[in-house]
Amino acid sequence: MHLIETRDLCYTYPGNVTALHHVNFIAPRKARIAVIGSNGAGKSTLFKHFNGIFKPTSGSVLVQGEPITKENIRNVRKFVGIVFQNPDDQIFSPTVEQDIAFGPTNLGLDEEIVQHRVCEALRIVGIEHLANRVPHHLSGGEKKRVAIAGVVAMEPQVLVLDEPTAGLDPQGVRDFNNFCNSLSQKYGLTVIFSTHDVSLVPEIADYVYVMNKGAIVASGTIEEIFVQMEMLQSVRLDVPVLPKLIRSLQEHGVDINMGYTFGEVEAVFLEAFGKKA
């Protein structure tokens, strides 16, 4: 049984804008899934179906094998946490600490447990220094991290992040990569995220869905997707810079293996230069 599955999911916004066409998407346990696609491809619309914010126009969404109903929606939202693309849609309390406490408090948890979860979330996301700040006065990247912490504090089994690194500084992106990888490795969480930064994808995902004009046009492992340069460019995307560089060297006759993550490519180059990793 998959944690999340959509079957032939179609969605049309009021005003007759069809945003999703027959989307079949699967998120298994412990998966790290990237959803990539150009502006307007349908990523955010798809994500809003994962915990019942949107209802399919046709087709279905199953969470742990069950359709989302009025009766189970509370549990579904405990199970699937979504960080929206725009943090202003998610942050509204007078202080950061209170904002992060809002979700766990709503779950009916004891104050002590809530406090513990808030501290953990602040630590994991690396924003302890913002605990007493007014969310409204934070920078865009700081707000983004507060929104992520708010969902992490709910301790969902599936964490859905819509453009999590948009607006983050380089250290913020590194922190995000580390925290994202530790969530799946240490806690066995399933992480689903969208991004326009294709170079980030091999670092934190194992599986990729490519969307274009509301449809899934390709899906597969990092190796399967990032060899399809023409397909990616046809949907306004690109191959991450490291495999692109290696492919170019290979085309110039350099005998070098393919690599996707920084670590893999570093090892490939060290080997090519006769150095030990």
Ligand X SMILES: Nc1ncnc2c1ncn2[C@@H]1O[C@H](COP(=O)(O)OP(=O)(O)OP(=O)(O)O)[C@@H](O)[C@H]1O
Q: Which spans of this chain sit near ligand X (rule: CB under 6 A)?
A: 13, 15, 17, 19, 37, 39-45, 85
For residue 257, what are the contacts with CB-CB under 8 A and spacing of at least 6? 246, 268, 271
Spatial contact of 141 and 172, defined as CB atoms under 8 Å apart: yes
Contacted entry of ligand X, Mg ion, none for residue 195, CB cut-off 5 to 8 Å set by kind: none
Contacted entry of ligand X, Mg ion, none for residue 41, CB cut-off 5 to 8 Å set by kind: ligand X
Using the minimum distance from each CB to ligand X, give the nearer residue, 34 or 109: 34
Closer to Mg ion at the Cβ: 127 or 201?
201
184 binds Mg ion, rule: CB under 5 A: no
Nearer to ligand X, 4 or 127 (CB): 4
Alpha helices by DSSP H, the chain: 43-47, 73-79, 96-106, 111-125, 140-152, 170-187, 201-204, 222-225, 229-234, 241-251, 262-272
Binding mask 3-42 for Mg ion (x = CB under 5 A): ----------------------------------------
Beta carbon of residue 188, minimum distance to Mg ion (angstroms, whole number): 27
Q: How far apart (Å, rounded) are the C-alpha atoms in residues 190 and 212?
A: 24
Choose between 45 and 199: whose C-beta lies nearer to ligand X. 45
Q: If contact means CB under 5 to 8 A according to the sort of partner, which of Mg ion, ligand X, none does residue 40 touch?
A: ligand X
Total Cβ atoms within 10 A of residue 115: 14
Please calculate the CA angle 160-91-61 and round it to the nearest 5 degrees: 30
* Three-state secondary structure of 177-197: HHHHHHHHHHHCCEEEEECCC
Smallest distance from ligand X to CB 61, Å: 15
By CB under 5 A, residue 45 contacts Mg ion: no
Q: How far is CA 267 from CA 4, 41, 227, 258, in A?
A: 35, 35, 20, 10
Tokens matching residue 52:
């019942």
Shortest spacing between CB 82 and Mg ion, in angstroms: 12
CB of 86 vs ligand X, minimal distance in Å: 9
Residue 58 beta carbon to Mg ion: minimum distance, rounded to whole angstroms: 22
Among 200, 235, 190, CA closest to 215: 235
From residue 56, how far is each of 53, 94, 183, 211 by CA, in Å?
10, 35, 29, 17
**d(C-alpha 30, C-alpha 35), whole Å:** 16
Instruction: Give how far the C-alpha of residue 115 lies from the chain's centroid of Cα atoms, to the nearest Å.
Output: 26
Closest CB to Mg ion: residue number: 44
Is the CB of 84 or the CB of 179 nearer to Mg ion? Answer: 84
User: What three-state secondary structure class fits 34?
Assistant: strand
Rounded least distance, CB 184 to Mg ion, Å? 22
Closest separation in Å from C-beta 50 to ligand X: 13
44 binds Mg ion (CB under 5 A): yes
Based on CB atoms, which residue is closest to ligand X, 39 or 69?
Answer: 39
Residue 37 binds: one of Mg ion, ligand X, none (C-beta under 5 to 8 A by kind): ligand X
Residues 83-102 that bind Mg ion (CB under 5 A): 85
Binding footprint of Mg ion on the chain (CB under 5 A): 43-44, 85
